[in-house]
Amino acid sequence: MPMNRFCIFLVSIAACACQACGHKAETRPQASPAPTASSTSSITPAEFSADSAMVFIQEQVDMGPRVPGTAAHQRCADYLALQLQRFGADVMQQEAVARRYDGQQVGIRNIIGSYNPDAKPRIMLCAHWDSRPWADQDEDPRNHRTPIPGANDGASGAGVLLEIARQLHAMQTPRGIDLILFDAEDMGTPQFDDSHPHDETTWCLGSQHWSHAPHRFNYRAQYAILLDMVGAKDARFPREYFSTYFAASTVEKIWKTGQRLGYDRYFIDQESSPLTDDHYFINTIANIPCIDIVHYNPDTPTGFGSYWHTLNDNMDNIDLQTLQAVGTTVLTSILN
C-alpha cells in the first residue's frame, strides 16, 4: 500500500479521530531547522549495509508475489522467520484467518522477532511483507488481476528490517526491540471492483489482527516505526499526517536524525496527507504511538511512484542509497 486518503479523509477522521482536524494545528511539530555542519558531525551513524538489505529484498522478490494463499507466500513466511532466528531474535508467528474485502477467508501470518523479550522499555519496528494480489493501477487493464512483484511495496521494508536484525545481533544489543512483519496489508478492495465497498478496513488485515491481539498479553512499546515503500531511487519521505497527529515527538526525532546524518533529501520538512497504512491501526486500536516512513510525492498522479500497484514494482526501482538512508537513520535513532 498505502492508500491515499485524500478522498476518504473526512470519513476516516469521523470514524477514528474526530478531533483530528481541530487538533491539527496544535499537534503539528515546528519545522526543523536545516542541518548545520556542527550538528551533522555530532552524530555517529549506526552500521547498516544497504548491499545486505538489497539481497534480502531480492530474495523475497525471487520467490514470486507473496499473496496469501499461495505457495510463494508460505515459502517467504518461512524464509523471514528463519532469517530472524538466524539473527538471534526470539521468533513468534501469529497465524490467523482474516476476511478479505469480498468475504473470502485468507490464512495470514504475522512474524515477530524479539530482542531481549523481557527488557523494558520496548521499541517496535514494523513493515508489511505481503504483496498486492492485483496490479490494479497498471496502465494495461489486462494486468489488473495479476499480482505485483512488490519489490518496493512490501519487500523493501521487510528487507531493511532483516538487515537491522542482522546488525542488532552483531552488536548484541541489550535493548528491548521487536521487529514485526505484518501480513495482508495490501489486500484492500481492488479499484476495478465496484460491487464492494472501498473501505479502509479492507487494508492492513495483519496489523488490525495484531492490534486487537498483540503477540504478548498487555504488550506495550514506547513507540513504533513503520517502514513502507522505502527503497525507491526517487524516494522522499514527508511527515505523514497521522504520524504527526499520534506520535509527533517520534517524527521529530527520526526526521532530525535523518537530516543530521545528511539524508535531508529523503527526510524532508513537508507534511503529507493522511495515509491508510498499518500505523493507523496500531495507533487507533493498539494505542501505540506509531509513525510511518513512507514514500509519498504529491506531485505525482497517485502520490506514489509510477510503478505503484503495477507490474513494474520490480527490482529496477530499488536503490542502494535510499536503503542506506532509511536503515542508517532508523537504527541510529533507536540506538540513541
Piece in contact with Zn ion (CB under 5 A), picked from 58-66, 179-187, 213-221, 256-264: 179-187
Residue 166 vs 185, nearer CB to Zn ion: 185
Residue 100 vs 166, nearer CB to Zn ion: 100
Backbone angles phi, psi at 231, to 5 degrees: -125, 0
Confirm if 16 and 274 have CB atoms less than 8 A apart: no
Distance, CA of 77 to CA of 100 (rounded, Å): 19
Distance, CA of 168 to CA of 152 (rounded, Å): 23
Q: How far is the CB of 233 from Zn ion (least distance, A)?
A: 18
Distance, CA of 33 to CA of 35 (rounded, Å): 6
Piece in contact with Zn ion (CB under 5 A), picked from 100-108, 171-179, 180-188, 323-331: 180-188
**Looking only at residues 103 through 132 of this chain, which bind Zn ion when binding is defined by CB under 5 A?**
132
Distance, CA of 272 to CA of 47 (rounded, Å): 30
The DSSP letter of residue 46 is P
The site string for Zn ion over 55-84 (x = CB under 5 A, - otherwise) reads ------------------------------
Of 176, 182, 191, 202, nearest in space to 138 by CA: 191
Residue 199 vs 269, nearer CB to Zn ion: 199
Piece in contact with Zn ion (CB under 5 A), picked from 98-106, 145-153, 252-260, 312-320: 145-153
Q: How far is the CB of 3 from Zn ion (least distance, A)?
A: 8
The site string for Zn ion over 249-288 (x = CB under 5 A, - otherwise) reads ----------------------------------------
How would you classify the pairing of strands 237-240 and 176-182? unpaired
Piece in contact with Zn ion (CB under 5 A), picked from 12-20, 147-155, 196-204, 238-246: 147-155
Chosen residue from 130, 136, 153, 313 binding Zn ion by CB under 5 A: 153
Q: Does 1 bind Zn ion (CB under 5 A)?
A: yes
Residue 163 vs 186, nearer CB to Zn ion: 186
Cis ω before 2 (30° cut-off from 0): yes
The CA distances from residue 101 to 142, 188, 194, 278, 297, in Å, are: 21, 6, 12, 16, 27
Distance, CA of 225 to CA of 70 (rounded, Å): 28
Residue 153 vs 183, nearer CB to Zn ion: 153
Of 179, 288, 169, 286, nearest in space to 227 by CA: 179
**Which residues are bridge partners to 292 per DSSP?**
226
Distance, CA of 216 to CA of 211 (rounded, Å): 11
Q: Which residue is nearest to Zn ion (CB)?
A: 1
Chosen residue from 130, 138, 178, 186 binding Zn ion by CB under 5 A: 186
Piece in contact with Zn ion (CB under 5 A), picked from 111-119, 121-129, 178-186, 313-321: 178-186
Q: Does 161 bind Zn ion (CB under 5 A)?
A: no
Q: Does 138 bind Zn ion (CB under 5 A)?
A: no
Q: How far is the CB of 173 from Zn ion (least distance, A)?
A: 31
The grid cell for 31 is 519545522
Angle at the Cα of 202 (from 59 to 192), degrees rounded to 5?
Answer: 85
Residue 136 vs 153, nearer CB to Zn ion: 153
Q: How far is the CB of 43 from Zn ion (least distance, A)?
A: 32
Helix, strand, coil shares of the chain, percent, nearest 5, are 40, 20, 45
Confirm if 18 and 9 have CB atoms less than 8 A apart: no
How many residues touch Zn ion under the rule CB under 5 A: the total is 4
Which residues of this chain interact with Zn ion, rule CB under 5 A? Answer: 1, 132, 153, 186
